[in-house]
Amino acid sequence: MGAAAWEYAVHPAGGGLKRAKPDELTEMLNQAALEGWELMQIMPQEGVNTLLLVLRRASTPRTRRHAAWGGPM
């Protein structure tokens, strides 16, 4: 069996004057998980209230579409 092909998404949370709220992050991550995304890393951005969430999922023809949770595809 060959190596898995992954697709990645980087999704901002919070930003501007708004901090990422735990309940909003939980909802976004649960929705992403329903679509097969796995959280790989959280990167805080200095000087702003933004977190960058790095997610991945196995890439298949079925998953190569726009994600309902707002992530790129």
Structural domain includes residue 1: no
Structural domain includes residue 54: yes
pLDDT digit string, tens, across residues 5-26 = 899 999 998 876 677 789 989 9
**Looking at the chain, how many residues does it have?**
73
What pTM was computed for the model? 0.73
In 3-state terms, what secondary structure has residue 63? coil
Mean of the pLDDT values across residues 26-55? Answer: 92
Alpha-carbon distance of 29 to 36, in angstroms, equals 10
Number of domains making up the chain: 1
Structural domain includes residue 56: yes
pLDDT of residue 35: 92
Alpha-carbon distance of 48 to 24, in angstroms, equals 18
Structural domain span for residue 43: 12-73
